[in-house]
Amino acid sequence: MTRPGPTTRARIRQLSGRTVRERRDDLATEEPLEIRLIGADGTRRTVAITMRTPGHDFELAAGFLHGEGLTGADGIASIAYCSDEDLPPEERYNTVTVRLRGPVPDLPALERHFVTSSACGVCGSAGLDRLHERCDPLPPGGPPIAPEVLYGLPDALRAGQGVFGKTGGLHAAGLFTADGVRLAVREDVGRHNAVDKLVGWSAMGGRLPLAGHVLMVSGRAGYEIMQKALAAGVPVVCAVSAPSSLAVDLAREFGLTLVGFLRGERCNVYAGHERIFME
């Protein structure tokens, strides 16, 4: 069985005026990923099924678990693709098994089961009150960020999007220093998955919390993006498009800086303007 990759070839008909030609096109691959947990006592539980772009799947699983408060990197014993005989070969690269050092979390205590899609982006616990139970507001301050650094982030993010350059159909999340140095970029058909991959990369590398860093996303900034940034300790979130009302509420309540409509040398600062150095 061939492992699915981030792109898939397709034959298409391309129209230009009254001219038609056949050609091959690269599409962004979209496949389901099931995340399973196995506790130290052998208990098994599926905690998420999400539509994603194959690649960095272990980071996606680790980032999702961290963002939802289910377990940190130190609670993970191993991550591997599932080799259960009950799965057909074509599904084994679409199932990730996370072995925990302790028991499986009490999932029935959560308000819902985690079934997500690349379109809906429903990845956060419902409501700011629930978020207060496991996340503290971020401390004020941090390295000041010059507007010129912000203005350079979209182009720096785009330069790191190798798969987008081939397909034109992926979201991206990038992690930067306060000076605008790009540390990592992850791509996916789901913007929330891209952030999970980035957080998972940070968690597995022992980089959390991400104080003093900037998260840049290619699309809009919704509640689920801000929740994941808060859980990872990222003080500044920037987006090419608009934030949602709940994203702004979260940023203001938990002390994050939120920048939207970051295009060219223009942007809107919706929360945490004190981290933007204007002198």
pLDDT at 41: 93
Under the banding of pLDDT at 50, 70 and 90, the label for residue 16 is low
Q: Would you say residue 17 lies in a domain?
A: no
Q: What angle do CA 222, 66, 58 make, to 5 degrees?
A: 100
Closest CA to 271 of 233, 226, 232: 226
Q: Are residues 163 and 253 in the same domain?
A: yes
Asked whether residue 3 is assigned to any structural domain, the reply reads no
Which DSSP string corresponds to 42-69? S-EEEEEEEEE-SSSHHHHHHHHHHHTT
Q: How many independent structural domains does the chain possess?
A: 2
Which of 91, 126, 161 is the endpoint of a domain? 126
Domain containing residue 99: CATH number: 3.10.20.10
Same domain as 96, residue 168:
no
Of the candidates 198, 225, 216, 196, the residue with the CA atom closest to the CA atom of residue 261 = 216
In this predicted structure, the answer to whether residue 109 has a pLDDT above a threshold of 70 is: no
Residues 194 and 246 in one domain: yes
How high is the pLDDT of residue 266?
Answer: 87
pLDDT of the residue at 198: 96
What is the rounded average pLDDT for all residues in the chain?
85
Of the candidates 170, 166, 164, 175, the one whose C-alpha atom is nearest the C-alpha of residue 234 is: 175
Last residue in a domain, options 126, 157, 178: 126
Q: How far is CA 28 from the centre of its chain?
A: 17
Q: Say yes or no to pLDDT of 92 above 80.
A: no
- Of all residues in the chain, the percent with pLDDT exceeding 90 is 49
pLDDT number for residue 118: 42
Q: Residue 119 pLDDT > 80, yes or no?
A: no
| Domain assignment of residue 137, yes or no | no
Residue 164 has pLDDT above 90, yes or no: no
24 is in an annotated binding site: no
- Residue percentage of the chain with pLDDT more than 70: 87
Residue 18 lies in a domain: no
Could you tell me if 158 and 268 lie in one domain? Answer: yes
Q: Are residues 115 and 165 in the same domain?
A: no
Same domain, 262 and 183: yes
Task: Give the model's pLDDT for residue 123.
Answer: 40
> Are 45 and 119 members of one domain?
yes
DSSP at 243 = B
Domain membership flag for residue 132: no
**3 has binding-site annotation:** no
DSSP lists the bridge partners of residue 114 as 48
Q: How confident is the model at residue 124 (pLDDT cuts 50, 70, 90)?
A: very low
- With a cut of 70, say whether residue 189 has pLDDT above it: yes
Q: Domain range spanning residue 114?
A: 31-126
**Residue 161 φ/ψ, nearest 5 degrees:** -95, 80
Dist. CA 108–CA 123, nearest whole Å: 16
Judge whether 261 is annotated as a binding position: yes
CA gap 133, 195 in Å, rounded? 22
Least confident of 15-24, 47-56, 224-233: 15-24
89 found inside a domain: yes
Which residues form the catalytic set?
Answer: 120
Q: Quick one: residue 177, left, alpha or beta (phi over 0 = left, psi -120 to 50 = alpha)? A: beta
Q: Is 111 annotated as a binding residue?
A: no
